[in-house]
Copies of this chain bind each other. A is one copy, B any other.
Amino acid sequence: MPARARCEAHRRAHQPRQPQHDPLDDREDRGRGPLGGVARHRDPSRLAGHGPVSIEGPYDEAFCVPGLLEEIAQAEVEGFDGHVIACFDDPGLDAARQIARAPVVGIAEAAMHTACLLAGSFTIVTTLARSVATLEHLVHRYGFERRCRRVRAAEFPVLALEEPGSGARERLRAEIARALEEDRCEAILLGCVGMADLARALSGEFGLPVIDGVAAATELVEALFGLGLSTSKIGGWAPPLAKPYSGTFARFAPR
């Protein structure tokens, strides 16, 4: 790797119920500008100004993708060299790969590929039961059904992780403990952006790899950048054909 960061992650997060949080902080702190070679985290809740404050199923996903694609198109203009889709449903991944020159990696796929290099099997722990079906679908889509023992829900709202006394961390730990005993898994994937900060501590506590998808995806984008490779454009991810779009989306029409 070069000395300077050159594989910026274009990533998003939610923190939906914290309107007082200043998105600009996020931008200033992590990605100081459009300079080549600098990673950054966009304000997760913005989605180019339109979309759901959080992603909790296919309906939310449908309305987050246009904004996500707008963000990615903008980051391409600014010269970023890689994109991370920082939602564990990997929304918009195929469409993003159609329009990006730079590699695009989803955090769910990143976590699963990483797990396979470190463990014979893994279990995913997410927050809500309603997310299990979506994640099982991704496991199957990416071909990891033999490595994934189970997708589990710890059943607490993600923001509770940051609330003292909410018991959320205890529930997460309890679910991981259950996974170790019942699933005989060799690694844990944190199936939610909000759990990311806990990965290192939990790895130590439980004595096995606990993987945060955002960090994994950022590393994998850098790896792809280091290889000088980008998305294949000769098949399903070929650039969109030029055509008119009507109404609200007219400005997104491929040229």
Contact = CB atoms under 8 A, between A and B. Distances in A.
Contact of A61 (B67, B95, B140, B220): B95
A109 B147 CA distance: 14
Interface string A178-214: 0010001011000000000000100100011101000
A129 B69 CA distance: 24
A205 to B, nearest CB: 13
Chain A's interface size range is 35 or more
A98 B57 contact: yes
How many copies of this chain are found per oligomer?
6
Interface in A199-255: 200, 203, 207-209, 211, 215-216, 219-220, 222-224, 226-238, 240-241, 243-250, 252-254
A103 B121 contact: no
12 contacts: A52-B245, A58-B92, A63-B245, A65-B65, A119-B235, A119-B237, A129-B235, A137-B141, A140-B141, A209-B230, A215-B227, A219-B222
A114 B235 contact: no
Given A58-B95, A237-B120, A229 B203 contact: yes
B94 A58 contact: yes
Nearest to A69: B62
Interface centre among A67, A95, A133, A227 (most CB of B within 10 A): A227
A56 interface: yes
